[in-house]
């Protein structure tokens, strides 16, 4: 069923195309069209070869089997039409067949409204496979999920990997096999539990490890520092201590100061040295001296991998560390790869997206790929980590 050959060979077909159009939306407004933008070249290439395209994608996390207006993919149609430069037919009830209505593209309603999508129900996958003559998988962001539309369809339909997917794998492999040094890895974000394997995997490869976010708090606690009411995962203290006691520990660059708030509204930001954090403080960002240190390390690096915001970016000024780090990487000459859903909107907000070597559409999927986990559909497509 699986074809290694390039999409260029797909001609005059009805192509069932799985994309990741799961864009961040707030109060009905698309906050970042990064994933749409990245998907457009594949759509255009298929159209150029006289194919018709049936797009399926997930959007948010609806309750399966129910229609939910607030998670309708229709919200992206204007944006997608503008970027592709063609009218697109939206199909709400598509599972039993689509009508192109004179257009070359159909965008199907949120695939996660279909009962059985998550558990990869064979009857659903088979039903979806009847929509196209071939299947193109180009949704790297969900390649770690074994669902009906991300995996199941390939059991029933000739399957090709899309160009975005190929690019993502090439870039991730380039990061993993690069001999550029020094290599700096920045791992931040909310929870150490979701990033611990990544830290362990990349610490031996890296020359410097920069930490931020809730992950940093867990490390600070493991070192015996007062962290007040900060976001922390106490059950991971021991694992953090193991890393701190390992031979790679000197690669960790530990902050000397942090930004804290001591009230519930987070409206009294204070820069504190790490040794004077109070029991009622909440650490919400890295401090000024730490930012300067991190910027220096970044400026001396030849290759940088970054995942996750360094602070509570939803509330200014606690986005300061993340902004300063974005700017530092953007102005460095290093080969830079960024992955993870929460950093890219910030980079876009600063209009710095073109200053990075590679911004990945993958979040969890990229981390799992780097960690060395077999991603189901990639394994099937013969795409491997180097
Ligand atoms: P990504 O999706 O990019 O991998 P995560 O989801 O792991 O990133 O983390 C992003 C979240 O972490 C953001 O919502 C941010 O507010 C939160 N965060 C980062 N640092 C802190 C902190 N010190 N305190 C509370 N929340 C934080
Ligand atoms: Mg996230």
CATH number at residue 67: 3.40.50.1260
Q: Which of 201-210, 231-240, 262-271, 289-298 has the lowest mean pLDDT?
A: 262-271
Task: For residues 103 and 195, state if they share a domain.
Answer: no
What's the CA-to-centroid distance between 318 and ligand 1, angstroms?
Answer: 11
Distance of CA 342 to the CA centre of its chain: 8
What percent of the chain lies above the pLDDT cut of 90?
92
pLDDT of 5 > 70? The answer is no
Q: Are strands 257-261 and 282-286 parallel, antiparallel or unpaired?
A: antiparallel
What's the CA-to-centroid distance between 284 and ligand 1, angstroms?
Answer: 10
Task: For residues 236 and 286, state if they share a domain.
Answer: yes
Task: For residues 235 and 319, state if they share a domain.
Answer: yes
Task: For residues 179 and 235, state if they share a domain.
Answer: yes
**pLDDT, mean of residues 255-259:** 97
Task: Please give the order of strands across the beta sheet that includes 335-339.
Answer: 252-253, 208-211, 183-187, 303-307, 335-339, 358-359
* Domain boundary residue, one of 112, 137, 161: 161
pLDDT of 359 > 60? The answer is yes
What's the CA gap between 336 and 267, in Å, rounded? Answer: 34
What's the CA gap between 196 and 203, in Å, rounded? Answer: 10
197 inside domain? yes
Per-residue pLDDT band for 6 (boundaries 50, 70, 90) equals low
Q: Which of 2-11, 58-67, 105-114 has the lowest mean pLDDT?
A: 2-11
383 inside domain? no
Output the residue whose Cα is nearest ligand 1's atom 16: 312
Which ligand places an atom closest to the C-alpha of 344?
A: 1
Which ligand places an atom closest to the C-alpha of 362?
A: 1
Q: Are 214 and 231 in contact (CB under 8 A)?
A: yes
351 inside domain? yes
- In short, whether 362's Cβ falls inside 6 Å of ligand 1 is no
Task: For residues 255 and 345, state if they share a domain.
Answer: yes
Output the residue whose Cα is nearest ligand 1's atom 26: 312
Task: For residues 95 and 190, state if they share a domain.
Answer: no
Per-residue pLDDT band for 286 (boundaries 50, 70, 90) equals very high
Give residue 15's domain range.
2-161
Closest ligand 1 atom to residue 216 Cα is: 23
Q: What is the reported pLDDT for 61?
A: 96
378 inside domain? no
282 inside domain? yes
- In short, whether 283's Cβ falls inside 6 Å of ligand 1 is yes
Q: What is the reported pLDDT for 262?
A: 92
Interval 203-227: pLDDT, tens = 999 999 999 999 999 999 999 999 9
pLDDT of 2 > 70? The answer is no
> Between 342 and 133, whose confidence is greater?
133
Output the residue whose Cα is nearest ligand 1's atom 17: 190
376 inside domain? no
* Domain boundary residue, one of 144, 161, 178: 161
What's the CA-to-centroid distance between 341 and ligand 2, angstroms?
Answer: 5
Per-residue pLDDT band for 88 (boundaries 50, 70, 90) equals very high
Closest ligand 1 atom to residue 342 Cα is: 3
Q: What is the reported pLDDT for 1?
A: 55
pLDDT of 188 > 90? The answer is yes
Task: For residues 147 and 197, state if they share a domain.
Answer: no
Task: For residues 228 and 304, state if they share a domain.
Answer: yes
What's the CA-to-centroid distance between 340 and ligand 2, angstroms?
Answer: 7
Phi, psi torsion values for 367, nearest 5 degrees:
-60, -45
Output the residue whose Cα is nearest ligand 1's atom 27: 312
Closest ligand 1 atom to residue 313 Cα is: 16
Task: For residues 188 and 57, state if they share a domain.
Answer: no
Q: Are 219 and 262 in contact (CB under 8 A)?
A: no
Q: What is the reported pLDDT for 340?
A: 82
Q: Are 57 and 110 in contact (CB under 8 A)?
A: yes
Q: Cis before residue 317, ω within 30 degrees of 0?
A: yes
What's the CA-to-centroid distance between 190 and ligand 2, angstroms?
Answer: 8
Task: For residues 50 and 111, state if they share a domain.
Answer: yes
With a CB cutoff of 8 Å and minimum separation 6, the contacts of 385 are: 172, 173, 176, 369, 370, 372
- In short, whether 281's Cβ falls inside 6 Å of ligand 1 is no
- In short, whether 314's Cβ falls inside 6 Å of ligand 1 is yes
386 inside domain? no
* Domain boundary residue, one of 99, 130, 161: 161
Give the total number of structural domains in the chain.
2
Task: For residues 147 and 174, state if they share a domain.
Answer: no
35 inside domain? yes
What's the CA-to-centroid distance between 11 and ligand 1, angstroms?
Answer: 44
Out of 101-115, 336-350, 365-379, give the one with best mean pLDDT. 101-115
What's the CA-to-centroid distance between 308 and ligand 1, angstroms?
Answer: 6
Task: For residues 139 and 196, state if they share a domain.
Answer: no
Q: What is the reported pLDDT for 243?
A: 97
Mean pLDDT over the full length of the chain: 95
- In short, whether 313's Cβ falls inside 6 Å of ligand 1 is yes
């Amino acid at each position: 069923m699986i074809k290694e050959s390039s999409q260029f060979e797909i001609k005059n077909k009805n192509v069932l195309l799985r994309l990741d159009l799961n864009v961040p939306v707030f109060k009905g407004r698309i906050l970042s069209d990064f994933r749409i933008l990245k998907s457009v070249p594949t759509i255009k290439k298929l159209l150029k070869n006289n194919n018709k395209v049936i797009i399926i994608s997930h959007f948010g996390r609806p309750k399966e089997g129910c229609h939910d207006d607030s998670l309708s993919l229709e919200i992206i149609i204007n944006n997608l039409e503008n970027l592709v430069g063609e009218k697109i037919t939206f199909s709400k009830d598509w599972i039993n067949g689509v009508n192109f209505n004179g257009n070359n593209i159909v965008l199907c309603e949120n695939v996660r409204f279909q009962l059985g999508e998550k558990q990869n129900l064979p009857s659903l996958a088979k039903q979806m496979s009847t929509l196209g003559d071939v299947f193109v998988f180009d949704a790297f962001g969900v390649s770690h999920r074994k669902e009906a539309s991300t995996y199941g369809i390939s059991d029933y339909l000739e399957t090709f990997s899309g160009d975005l997917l190929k690019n993502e794998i090439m870039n991730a492999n380039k990061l993993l096999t690069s001999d550029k040094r020094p290599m700096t890895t920045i791992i931040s974000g909310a929870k150490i539990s979701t990033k611990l394997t990544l830290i362990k995997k990349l610490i031996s490869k890296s020359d410097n490890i920069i930490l931020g976010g809730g992950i940093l708090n867990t490390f600070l606690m493991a070192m015996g520092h007062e962290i007040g009411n900060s976001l922390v995962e106490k059950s991971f203290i021991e694992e953090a201590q193991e890393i701190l006691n390992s031979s790679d520990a000197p690669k960790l660059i530990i902050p000397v100061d942090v930004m804290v708030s001591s009230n519930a509204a987070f409206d009294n930001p204070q820069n504190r040295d790490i040794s004077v954090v109070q029991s009622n403080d909440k650490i919400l960002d890295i401090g000024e001296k730490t930012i300067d240190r991190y910027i220096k390390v970044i400026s001396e690096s030849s290759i940088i991998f970054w995942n996750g915001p360094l602070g509570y970016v939803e509330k200014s000024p606690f986005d300061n560390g993340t902004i300063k780090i974005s700017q530092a990487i953007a102005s460095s000459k290093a080969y830079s790869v960024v992955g993870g859903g929460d950093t890219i909107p910030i980079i876009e907000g600063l209009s710095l997206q073109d200053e990075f070597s590679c911004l990945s559409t993958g979040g969890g999927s990229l981390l799992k790929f780097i960690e060395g986990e077999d991603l189901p559909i990639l394994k099937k497509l013969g795409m491997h980590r180097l």
